[in-house]
Amino acid sequence: MSDLVKNENTSIEYLNVILADTFVLYTKTLNCHWNVVGTLFYQLHKFFEEQYQALQEDIDTIAERIRALQAKAPATLQSFLALTTLEEIPNNLSDGDMVRALLKDREAVTKYVRDALEKIDENDRSTTNMLEDMLEKHEEQAWMLRSILEK
């Protein structure tokens, strides 16, 4: 197997998991958006909406990168659940527990993307550039979620 094919396979393997994690995080963020209650309802409802919209764009970007690497993007709920590193949440969490759950996931995705960036060959600049941009977004969103939790 040539180095180029091997590098693309590594990229695809990581991108499949990142796509699944992003889709699951998107779904969890929708859950929080739809089901949030409490004194911070309006602010969190809007905040979660901004987050899921950004995640929706990332989902498309990741899937299109997988296709550009000549692979099929996972595209079923079953495949996402098989690939994801994240866990589902119930839809009856308090607003604080919602924020904590999304923060935990943002941190997990951040860690996984960092690991991917260490393993993906630097010759795959398109993938590494995309992941570096996503890493920055996840870190910013984690900071915002952390800030909501501060007293």
**If we measure between CA atoms, which residue out of 138, 139, 109 comes closest to residue 15?**
109
CATH code of the domain containing 20: 1.20.1260.10
The number of domains in the chain is: 1
Domain encompassing residue 44: 3-149
The per-residue pLDDT for range 38-69, each reduced to its tens digit, is 999 999 999 999 999 999 999 999 999 999 99
Q: What percent of the chain has pLDDT over 70?
A: 95
